[in-house]
Amino acid sequence: MLSKKNKEVFFNPFSKNNPVIVQVLGICSVLAVTAKLEPALVMGISVTAVLAFANVIISLIRNTIPTNIRIIVQLVVVAALVIIVDQVLKAYNYEVSKALSVFIGLIITNCILMGRLEAFALSNGPWDSFLDGVGNGIGYALILIIVGFFRELLGSGTLLGFQVIPQALYDLGYQNNGLMILPPMALITVACIIWVHRSRNKDLQEN
Amino acid sequence: MNKQSNTYTILYSAIMVVVVGAVLALTYMALKPKQDENIANDKRMQILSAVHLTAPDGDYRSVYEKYVAETFVVNVSGDRTEGDAFGVNMAAEEKKPAQERLLPVFVCKLDDGQLKYILPVYGAGLWGPIWGYVALNDDANTVYGAYFSHQGETPGLGAEIAKPEFQAQFEGKELFKDGSFRSIDVMKAGQKPADNADYVNAISGGTVTSKGVESMLKSCLTDYSAFLDKLKTK
């Protein structure tokens, strides 16, 4: 079921070819939704779902798409899926849907999506495309979760809304770092992850 | 068939649009009841926030039904009219001439038997609409609590109106001074209203939103002033 090529397609986006920290795509949503862990988690799942289904759909119809309108077709498929995700969230997780507000809609403009559709789904079969979509979605979600974890922990002292930093520490004079809540710290956190990642993977370094 | 021909391209896009349109319409219709329930629950949460009530388990419907004793609609002259208070859309009412506006009133009975009158307000901030609920004591004058929310004010600046610290300032303020309606002003720290009205501190850096709150309170509560006058003499 998982040939060598399939394994590469699925696991490469986790690290060696990660959409966020290697290709540096989808940075805007990383800034926007990672102040808390829960929206980051939901955003990661949403992008993974949209990417996987869009990849499969585009891959299934790839031989019928007229070349001159292929970008429009990709956009329509992505937009339709994003609206469905938005509607489902509004119905089943209204709080998170309010917190994510426009960012769910902005999944449409996430460069990772168009990138994968254009680069992979248009020239590969549905099963490969599905793996590619899930792999890249998880690669994106991983970074979101790492950034969201540190920002919520250091910025609010909570994780998924639960207090994890004990009151005793606050009594000793510890304070939440308000800067972590602000967008610039998302960039700096992502930069730190890229730094660690590059120093561990020598083949990613340029001269 | 030639896949690059114009006929094929046009046919292809037409069919695609119809299929996608149908799928979206179906999803929307299937999820609508659930979404409406969520929106109504959110509104209940906002109304209850004005009187400092919450539902820890998220079941706002039962808390709302327990505490909100009566809802009705009044007109600008302060007389009751026909209408479903919960269903009134404040954004639409604001656009009507004052004489035709439906003004909802939510009467809340707290555990200790006190009656609170919750009045919705709606106005404009810097980037989009702002709205809220003001709860008055049964003297129809003193503010018991206030809740404000917004669609997209600047985080950290205008968006601070949604914070409890800002909203708590309104508690105990009086709408009427020297027997006439004055509303509540939102003033820069150190300034005072000329007409002796009660005031709260504005948000530094959020001047336009703060002024938006002030004019929202003034315009919306002025509509209620006849009703409040009648309530006082009752």
Could you tell me whether strands B103-109 and B115-124 are parallel, antiparallel, or unpaired per DSSP bridges? antiparallel
The residues near B171 (Cβ < 8 Å, ≥ 6 apart) are B143, B144, B145, B146
Q: Evaluate whether residue B38 is within a structural domain.
A: no
Angle at B82 between CA B76 and CA B86, to 5 degrees: 90
Measure CA A182 to chain center: 19
On the question of pLDDT at B32 being above 90, the answer is yes
End-to-end CA gap in chain B:
82
Q: Evaluate whether residue A175 is within a structural domain.
A: no
Query: What percentage of chain A reaches a pLDDT higher than 90?
Result: 29
On the question of pLDDT at B192 being above 70, the answer is yes
**Which has the closest alpha carbon to B146: B183, B91, B196?**
B183
Q: Which two tokens stand for residue A59?
A: 């891959």
Per-residue pLDDT averaged across B197-208, rounded?
Answer: 88
Q: Evaluate whether residue A14 is within a structural domain.
A: no
* pLDDT tens readout for residues A63-108: 899 988 889 999 999 999 999 988 998 888 888 887 776 778 878 8
Residue B228, domain extent: 47-233
Neighboring chain B residues of A94 at a CB cutoff of 8 Å: 35, 38-39, 41-42
Torsion of CA B168, B169, B171, B174, to 10 degrees: -160
Q: Evaluate whether residue A89 is within a structural domain.
A: yes
Per-residue pLDDT averaged across A170-190, rounded?
Answer: 86
Residue ranges of chain B whose CB lies within 8 Å of a chain A CB: 3-4, 8-9, 12-13, 16-17, 20, 23-24, 27-28, 31, 34-35, 38-39, 41-42, 152, 156
The total of structural domains in chain A comes to 1
Per-residue pLDDT averaged across A11-39, rounded?
Answer: 83
Query: What percentage of chain B reaches a pLDDT higher than 90?
Result: 44
Q: Evaluate whether residue B29 is within a structural domain.
A: no
> What distance in Å separates the CA atoms of residue A131 and residue A116, rounded to the nearest whole number?
11
Is pTM beyond 0.80? Reply is: no
**Which amino acid is located at A64 in the chain?**
T
> What distance in Å separates the CA atoms of residue B108 and residue B67, rounded to the nearest whole number?
6
The total of structural domains in chain B comes to 1
On the question of pLDDT at B234 being above 80, the answer is no
Angle at B142 between CA B137 and CA B144, to 5 degrees: 55
The ipTM is 0.74
> What distance in Å separates the CA atoms of residue A1 and residue A3, rounded to the nearest whole number?
6
Residue A54, domain extent: 21-148
Residue B145: strand pairing partners: B135
Q: Evaluate whether residue A177 is within a structural domain.
A: no
Residue ranges of chain A whose CB lies within 8 Å of a chain B CB: 64-69, 72-73, 76-77, 80, 83-84, 87-88, 90-92, 94, 98, 101, 182
pLDDT band (50, 70, 90) for residue A6? confident
